Amino acid sequence: MSGLTPDAIMLGLGELVKLLPIAFALIVVIELFTWFLCAKIIRTKFTLAYVMLAPGIVGVMALIVFPFFYNMFLAFSNMSMTKFLTFSASLQIGLQNLIDVFTVPVLQRTNIGTLIIRTIIWTFVNVFFHVTLGMFLGILLNRPLKLKNVYKSLLILPWAVPEVITSLTWRNEFHYQYGFVNIILKSIGLEPIMWFQDPFWAMISCIFVNIWLGVPFMMVITLGGLQSIPQDYYDVAQIDGAGGWKQFVNITLPLLRPILTPATALGIIWTFNKFNVIYLMYQGGPIEGTHILITAMFSAIFENYRYGFGAMYSLVLFVMLLGISSIYYKIAGGFKEVSE
């Protein structure tokens, strides 16, 4: 972060401004070509729609589809810093990369088994508190309260602040001598914690910061779902003698399921791939103790320059996430109401 100076920022913005005319010209060319193709050659009545969609489709193809398939190609290659121009690709090399992902240590001290266990714990703990605390706050804000809008603004603030600022700010707050957290611990008679030297406490601090960042999103999702539930359901339940807990289990949770299921699935994917918090706070340290799968992949590719290995590693992560999300959707029954 030492290179992030005002001069460097202004230089980057200047380079970005230079690219804007090129991007604008490229969009115009794409739209003119699409209009000519649809209006003059194909002669379809949906010309305007295709013209509007064309830049987005080209952008998705260039920034998502092509990189994905090129990554699959690299996964079956031996590309590295020393073989950047002379690399080769074959099925045998790809199989060896796959074997290396599960047998060769990804980092100097940590293998993929440890990273998988750590990532599962990281994801489960974070998503659990995101959903439970977000739902709790959403239920509180759904009730009549004075200054409700003020509370909403304050609770959404952690989500509105960029993660880079939040992560670096909290990193300073976990400083052993001057950090706010240790000052609070000492004020209540507890010993200060060496957050930067102990891998366990470093991971605890990362989890705390990520919970801080993720709860407001689930709170907003839950609040929106709660406001769509008719009050008549609760009135009838009260007449039947149902208490608050029975109303929550039999009315609130079932009606929130179609909203919470995709939101939780997104939370799992985002948390599983959460890079900013861990890397900005500790860069995976101390002693590689806060590395998860995604940060270890970054280290393998951009610090050790193992491009072929890293590409196969990313495909393994993709399959893992696809499997986890599919299993979660099946267990949660997120689309059950649609099929009914």
- Whole-angstrom distance, CA of residue 115 vs CA of residue 92: 26
- Residue 120 neighbours by CB under 8 Å, 6+ apart: none
Q: What is the pLDDT of residues 78-134, one digit of tens each?
A: 988 888 778 888 999 999 999 998 988 888 888 888 999 999 999 999 999 999 999
Give the DSSP letter of residue 76. T
- Whole-angstrom distance, CA of residue 218 vs CA of residue 215: 5
- Count of alpha carbons within 13 Å of 150, Cβ hemisphere only? 3
Residue 80, φ and ψ in degrees, nearest 5: -150, 180
Q: What is the pLDDT of residues 277-325, one digit of tens each?
A: 998 898 888 888 899 999 988 888 888 888 899 999 999 999 988 888 8
Q: Which of 49, 54, 223, 201 is nearest to 135 (CA)?
A: 223
Q: What is the pLDDT of residues 126-160, one digit of tens each?
A: 999 999 999 999 988 888 888 888 888 888 888 88
The more confidently predicted of residues 61 and 18 is: 61
The distance of Cα 337 from the centroid of its chain, to the nearest Å, equals 27
Does this model's pTM top 0.85? My answer is: no
pLDDT at 93: 93
pLDDT at 206: 94
Select the CATH number that applies to the domain covering 112-339 from these four: 3.40.50.720, 1.10.3720.10, 1.10.490.10, 3.40.50.300.
1.10.3720.10
Residue 172 in tokens? 């300073």
Q: What is the pLDDT of residues 225-242, one digit of tens each?
A: 888 888 888 888 888 888
Confidence of residue 332 (pLDDT cuts 50, 70, 90): low
pLDDT at 2: 44
Confidence of residue 338 (pLDDT cuts 50, 70, 90): very low
Q: Is the peptide bond before 286 cis (omega within 30 degrees of 0)?
A: yes
Q: What is the pLDDT of residues 24-45, one digit of tens each?
A: 899 899 999 999 999 888 888 8
Confidence of residue 339 (pLDDT cuts 50, 70, 90): very low
- Which residue intervals of the chain are DSSP H helices? 6-35, 47-60, 66-75, 91-103, 112-141, 148-160, 163-173, 180-187, 199-227, 231-239, 244-247, 253-272, 276-282, 293-302, 307-332, 336-339
- Count of alpha carbons within 13 Å of 57, Cβ hemisphere only? 9
pLDDT at 241: 82
Start-end of CATH 1.10.3720.10 domains in the chain: 112-339
Q: What is the pLDDT of residues 189-237, one digit of tens each?
A: 999 999 999 999 999 999 999 999 999 999 999 998 888 888 888 888 8
